[in-house]
Structure 1
Amino acid sequence: MALRALAGGWCLVLLAATIPGVHPQGNDSSVQPATDSGAQIYRPVLQPSEATPPTGTYTLKSLAGTTCIKATMGVEFVVNEKRKTWYFNLDPSRVKSSGYCGKEAAVLSLTLPDNGASLQLTFRKEKKIFYITKLTAHLFPLPVCQKCANKSYSGLLDNDKLFQTANGHSFTCKSENLLLMSSELSVKLVPLKMQAFTLPNGHFGKELECWADFNKRVIPIVIGATVVCLILIAVLTYLFIKDRRRQGYERI
């Protein structure tokens, strides 16, 4: 009987070694069922300091194979809680793009693994213009401290006309676009270049510059021109006064 039991035990060991997924179970209650040790849940890590987000290019094609949305941008999530500010930059290499294309509406969804973070942009076409009418953001980061509870942050902008652009043109902005999604969550897009619905051969059309970039470019020129004019007026005034004094001396 002892030999049979020993032989039976060796058979179980051999089966466990040769058949994948088979593990010998004992009477010890601490032995757990087999799990996939390679499976890991992705969670964003908040940072106490801000850094420039990496720029990614995201495209979405219709069922016909034509590009209906193209966006090049860096995305930063900003969390404000208990008078502290935390940051998380979206990594383009981890982002999955999805959505749908319609004649008057299109959606681009950017999602990280395990829904750790997501950003959804809803585009609307109206006559000769298009714009973003809805923006949804979600962030489920790791707690910032060991005793801190798990918490997710979500926000929504709805019924807006963000980044309004003529159809066939692209909206471009090198300046920061900070969008307040909720009392605790903001999304920063920098730099930003996007176009929806009409993209000939999948390429961006003529650029429409945002007001922030326009002001940064034009205001220094206006100020410089104003300073030059003032200097020129001062020089001309000085020469005029000097010439009048000289004429007065000649009459005496």
Structure 2
Amino acid sequence: MGQIVLTSKSSLLLLLVSIPGVLLQRQESSSHPPLRPAEAQIYQPALQPSESIPPIGTYMLRNQAGEPCVKVTLGVEYIVVEKMKSWYFSMDPTRVGTSGYCTNNLAVLSLMLPHSSAGLQFTFMKEKKTFYVQQLEAHISPQPICEKCANKTYVGLLAQKKLFVTSDGQSFKCASETLLVLSPQLKIKLVPLQMQAFSLPRGAYGTELECWADYNKRVIPIVIGAVVVGLLLIAMLTFLFIKDRRTQDYERL
């Protein structure tokens, strides 16, 4: 008469209450793990008042057959112009996500930072035996440059262009700075730069096509040196000629 009869359900409930850690563990295992503070916050690029050398990343895009169709190696620096002052941000390759697609004559490569806070998109076109970048888009949504400043997204576009024209099977390479003005408030600096699209056997770069800036840096010192040597030779020959004429005049006297 004084005994308490327990059903199966009440026995289970009593067991869980007596072991509090069991119920807590079962609830946590059925939900996603909590985000770390750094992951829970929205990533925003931090603009800097001075320039820095951007880190270099290599990005590969493959077609539906799994073959490499676009390869780009570059460092990217965003230049934001706000209130007549320039601010800078270098893209971190370790945070970049790559996406895009390739067809026979068209390829699109997108480089995106977390939460679409900054992005750069190349549109490649193939025309006969050459390829080039027809369109370049960029955007950046940085942290406000002052405490009371509002969030702002800077957008720029170069469309219907023929940038970095290169023969099929070759790669365009430029170690010098490539500065592109996409809008009055947004510029993109690519340094260094190497790219190849469509024909990319085994994912390796083909013969390098040197950009004009690199060519001028290499050739102009040679030309200047040759001009200086030529002027020195002319001056020396002129001096010898005048000296020889004076010697002949002395002999006549």
What TM-score, normalized to structure 1? 0.87
Q: Are residues 176 and 232 of structure 1, via their aligned partners in 2, closer, same or farther at CA, if it must alter by over 3 Å?
A: same
Range that drifts further, 13-22 or 195-204: 13-22
Alignment correspondent of 1:196: 197
- What does the per-residue CA deviation read over 1:178-226, in whole Å, with 9 as the maximum and x for residues that have no partner? 1111111111101000000011221111111111111111111101100
Range that drifts further, 35-44 or 83-92: 35-44
Q: Are residues 143 and 202 of structure 1, via their aligned partners in 2, closer, same or farther at CA, if it must alter by over 3 Å?
A: same
Alignment correspondent of 1:234: 235
Q: Are residues 239 and 118 of structure 1, via their aligned partners in 2, closer, same or farther at CA, if it must alter by over 3 Å?
A: same
Q: Secondary structure at the match of 2:223?
A: helix
- What does the per-residue CA deviation read over 1:52-100, in whole Å, with 9 as the maximum and x for residues that have no partner? 1001111111121211101110001100010111111000011111100
2:144 maps to amino acid: P
Q: Secondary structure at the match of 1:226?
A: helix
Q: Are residues 13 and 161 of structure 1, via their aligned partners in 2, closer, same or farther at CA, if it must alter by over 3 Å?
A: farther
Aligned-pair CA distance for 1:18: 3.7
Alignment correspondent of 1:43: 44
Alignment correspondent of 1:3: none
Q: Secondary structure at the match of 2:27?
A: coil
In 1, Cα distance between equivalents of 2:251 and 2:121: 81
- Residue 149 in 1 paired to residue 150 in 2? yes
- Residue 20 in 1 paired to residue 27 in 2? yes
The runs of 5 or more residues in structure 2 that have no matched partner are: 1-12
Alignment correspondent of 2:108: 107
1:60 maps to amino acid: L
**Aligned residue-pair number:** 234
1:119 maps to amino acid: L
Q: Secondary structure at the match of 2:50?
A: coil
Aligned-pair CA distance for 1:11: 4.7
Alignment correspondent of 1:62: 63
In 2, Cα distance between equivalents of 1:173 and 1:180: 17
In 2, Cα distance between equivalents of 1:134 and 1:226: 41
2:194 maps to amino acid: K
The runs of 5 or more residues in structure 1 that have no matched partner are: 1-6, 23-33
In 1, Cα distance between equivalents of 2:141 and 2:196: 29
In 2, Cα distance between equivalents of 1:135 and 1:218: 30
What TM-score, normalized to structure 2? 0.87
Alignment correspondent of 1:225: 226
Aligned-pair CA distance for 1:13: 10
RMSD, aligned CA: 2.1
Alignment correspondent of 2:54: 53
Aligned-pair CA distance for 1:36: 3.7
- Residue 92 in 1 paired to residue 93 in 2? yes
1:216 maps to amino acid: K
- Residue 74 in 1 paired to residue 102 in 2? no
Q: Are residues 16 and 215 of structure 1, via their aligned partners in 2, closer, same or farther at CA, if it must alter by over 3 Å?
A: same
In 1, Cα distance between equivalents of 2:247 and 2:185: 72
1:197 maps to amino acid: F
